[in-house]
C-alpha cells in the first residue's frame, strides 16, 4: 500500500522544519557543554580538544575508505 501524494507533500513541507528543530537542539546542547567544560579549566579543555580532533579525523578517514569500497 503506497501513501497518497497528499501525505508525501505534507511530509515534504514538514521535513525542513524537523531539520531546523534538530539543528537548534544540537547547537544548544553543544553551547551548554562547551560552557560547562570551559568552567573546569584549560587542562580538561586541551584533552577534550585532542579527543574531538582525533574523532573528527577518524570519522573522516572512515568515510573516505567506505566511499572507495562502494
How much is the pTM? Answer: 0.51
pLDDT at 20 over 80: yes
Residue with cell 579549566: 41
pLDDT in tens, 51-62: 888 999 988 898
CA–CA separation, 63 and 65 (whole Å): 6
| Secondary structure letter of residue 70 according to DSSP | -
28 with 39: CB under 8 angstroms?
no
Computed on alpha carbons and rounded to an integer, the radius of gyration of the chain in Å comes to 19
Outline where DSSP puts E strands in the chain: none
pLDDT at 70 over 60: no
Amino acid at each position: 500500500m503506497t501513501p497518497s501524494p497528499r501525505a508525501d507533500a505534507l511530509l515534504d513541507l514538514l521535513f525542513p522544519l524537523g531539520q531546523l528543530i534538530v539543528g537548534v537542539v544540537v547547537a544548544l546542547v553543544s553551547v551548554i557543554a562547551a560552557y560547562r567544560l570551559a568552567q573546569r579549566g584549560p587542562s580538561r579543555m586541551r584533552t577534550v580538544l585532542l579527543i574531538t580532533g582525533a574523532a573528527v579525523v577518524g570519522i573522516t578517514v572512515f568515510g573516505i575508505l567506505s566511499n572507495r569500497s562502494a
